[in-house]
Structure 1
Amino acid sequence: MSNKQTTTTTPCPSCQQPKGPGKYLCYPCWGNLPGLARRALSRRDSKAMARLQELRLQLAIGVPLAEIEVTP
């Protein structure tokens, strides 16, 4: 039996490439977000889920990564 752990990845909602577990976007897409959006999305508080929903909504309607705005 192997001791390797299998990590499951899900596709990045922006580019469909694999992203790491617990990450909102893959590394290249994350880097293309504006700094203010990255900082807001990195905050872990009671509004974190609402910010994630803002990100996903904007991605779904085709807002370019560099133009995404997320409530601080």
Structure 2
Amino acid sequence: MHLSQFAGDLVCQHCWKSQKAREWPAKGDYVPFFYQTEPGNYNLEMTCPNCGKKWYVVWDNDPGPILPLSF
């Protein structure tokens, strides 16, 4: 388990509501990332609890393995 500065304040790309990730890459805070509606090279799939649609947090470079977060 690890901590993230950014995983607790993500924005759905469909309804623009905030949500939190339950898991995050080990180096996810240190590798630039962006949000989009299609998966990318390295991505974390999110399902919005508000609208139910899928969207992605995407990294162009490898952010490391996906690990559970400790809040």
* Higher strand content, 1 or 2: 2
Normalising by structure 2, report the TM-score: 0.27
More helix by share: 1
Radius of gyration: which is bigger? 1
